[in-house]
A = this chain, B = another copy of it.
Amino acid sequence: MTANDVGLLSPVTAGHDDAVTDAAVLAALVTAEVALVRAAGALGLADAQSVDAVSHLYGWTGAGHVCAAPGVDVDDLARDAVAGGNPVIPLVGILREGAGAAGVLVHRGATSQDIIDSALMLISARAVAEASRSLAAAEATLARLAADHRDDVAVARTLTQHAVPTTVGARFAGWLRGIRRARERLDAAAAALPAQLGGAGGTLASFVELYGEADAAALPAAFAAELGLQAPDAPWHTTRWPVTELGDALVQVVDAAGKVATDVATLSRSEIGELAEGAGGGSSAMPHKRNPAASVLIRSAALRAPQLGATLHLAAATAADERPDGAWHAEWPALRELLRLALGVSANLAALAAGLRVAPDAVARNLAAAGDAIVSEQRALGGSGADPAAYVGLARRLADAAGPTEESI
């Protein structure tokens, strides 16, 4: 295998992207082809024995399961994909030949885009489920941290300067709100992921020719059911909101984690020291260094994700004709990289949260150093300004309201 990337330049995602590797994409492509055969079988449009043969051959074990592709070399396939511009063309040949007599059922009536779009939705569903689990874990930890530090008064900073008092718990609760919202949006996007089935021109004409109108109309839902995806309301070959809405949700996840990482990186600065990552990274030159390594990695992703989301939108906005002349191809690596970033960022965030250490002394020291100025507003409003702890407003309530997530119970 000639690997382009094994993750050497992407420590933020290394070890977290099994769900979206090229091998996973290949398995998903095979799964989509098998699911199409099975959908025809489920509607009585293909003989059961052949359907079973194909299913067995490629390792089908149930809805949402990902097939294997014995005899398909992903490296060869990548090379053979170039001429036609996509890997389905050579893959179909291999799968048909591999299936012998039943091979006629493979890719029957479909177009490449049906298979690729469906496969990408399939790996998206799996990746999102994994990322969502990591986010839920991070939420549970942050909810606990918010509760644990509910009463710890700290100095709030605005435009880099000491401003007024707040609490450590309120800060954690703010992070938690962002992550929870992002996960909810991501889960909603995942729940809406549709299968793709339209045939060459998006009219399902090939299926009508093969099976008649009624069965052709029923096929997309049957196909989606086999894949564990949503039935599309219509083919979406050039109506690309399923991709952009997913992309937006993935970027939102990275944003929410980016906010946390930005704050952790700042608050673990040598001079501030209110937070520390439990397992900070080392240095090749300086043995004493304890870097906020997860924060750094998450932040690296946060600088990249928005532009990948933009690429998906540009592709959607220029999706010409009944299949685009470049815009569709631009989506593939951008969507996959966004999935990868969401996976890596979520996993790093969960680990960061789990290991996060609060330094109460430093919190208190910085608060004290902020001095009188941070209660000047209070005094201007008529208060005594004697005690910063008496000027945290609803900070405790904000921490309480963020509350423990279901996952934390």
Contacts of A315 in B (CB 8 A): 303
A279 at the interface (CB under 8 A from B): yes
Q: How far is the CA of A232 from the CA of B10 in the complex (A)?
A: 26
In the assembled complex, the Cα of A291 lies from the Cα of B113 at a distance in Å of 15
Q: Are A163 and B15 in contact (CB under 8 A)?
A: no
List, in ascending order, chain B residues with CB within 8 A of A258's CB: 316-318
* Chain B residues whose C-beta falls within 8 Å of the C-beta of A109 in the assembled complex: 381
* CB-contacts of A249-263 with B (<8 A): 251-252, 254-256, 258-259, 261-263
A79 beta carbon closer than 8 Å to chain B: yes
Q: C-beta contact mask, A2-31 vs B, less than 8 Å → 1, else 0? A: 111111111111110110111101100000
Residue-by-residue, is A69-84 near B (CB-CB < 8 Å gives 1, otherwise 0)? 0000011011101111
A321-B157, A323-B158 as given contacts; A204 in contact with B281, CB under 8 Å: no
A101 at the binding interface (Cβ < 8 Å): no
Question: For A201, what are the chain B residues with a Cβ–Cβ distance below 8 Å?
Answer: 156, 158, 163-166, 393
A387 at interface, CB cutoff 8 A: no
Contact A203 B392 (CB under 8 A): yes
Q: Does A234 contact B (CB under 8 A)?
A: yes
Q: Rank and list the top 9 A-B pairs by shortest CB-CB distance, nearest first.
A: A299-B326, A205-B393, A258-B317, A156-B201, A158-B323, A3-B3, A300-B329, A307-B307, A306-B313
In the complex, which residues of chain B have a beta carbon less than 8 angstroms from the beta carbon of A12? 329
- Bound-state CA distance A324–B292 (Å) is 12
A46 located at the interface, meaning its Cβ lies under 8 Å from any Cβ of chain B in the complex: no
Shortest Cβ distance from A282 into B: residue: B84
Which of chain B's residues have a CB closer than 8 A to the CB of A228? none
Q: Does A373 contact B (CB under 8 A)?
A: yes
Check: A173 CB closer than 8 A to any chain B CB.
Answer: yes
Further contacts, 16 of them, CB under 8 A, given A5-B5, A160-B268, A255-B313: A6-B74, A156-B201, A159-B281, A159-B289, A164-B200, A174-B202, A174-B239, A209-B381, A209-B393, A241-B252, A254-B317, A263-B321, A271-B369, A295-B326, A303-B314, A306-B310
CA distance A107 to B286 in the complex (A): 13
Given contacts A234-B401, A255-B240, contact A320 B262 (CB under 8 A): yes
Is there contact, CB below 8 Å, between A325 and B381?
A: no
From B174, B293, B377, A234 is in contact (CB under 8 Å) with B174
B6 & A78 in contact (Cβ 8 Å cutoff) = yes
Minimum CB–CB distance from A98 to chain B (whole Å) comes to: 16
> How far in angstroms is the closest Cβ of chain B from A280?
8
In the complex, A311 has a CB within 8 A of chain B: yes
Task: Kindly identify which residue among B241, B296, B381 contacts A159, using a CB–CB cutoff of 8 Å.
Answer: B296
Interface contact B2-A22, CB-CB below 8 Å: no
A334 within 8 A of B: yes
In the complex, A321 Cα to B341 Cα: how many Å? Answer: 24
Determine whether the beta carbon of A316 is less than 8 Å from that of B255: yes
Q: Output the least CB separation between A331 and chain B (Å).
A: 8
Nearest CB on B from A178, distance (A):
4
Taking the nearest CB of chain B, how far is it from the CB of A108, in angstroms?
9
Interface centre among A110, A201, A263 (most CB of B within 10 A): A201
Interface residues of A in 190-238 (CB under 8 A from B): 199-210, 213, 216-217, 233-236, 238
Q: Which residues of B contact A170 (CB under 8 A)?
A: 202-203
A56 at the interface (CB under 8 A from B): no
Let me know if A302 is at the binding interface, CB within 8 A: yes
> From residue 135 to 182 of chain A, which have CB atoms closer than 8 A to chain B?
155-167, 170-171, 173-175, 177-178, 181-182
A173 to B235, CA, bound (A): 11
Q: Quick check: B285 and A377 within 8 Å, CB to CB?
A: yes
Of B177, B298, B326, which one neighbours A239 at CB under 8 angstroms?
B177
Residues of B within 8 A of A370 (CB): 270
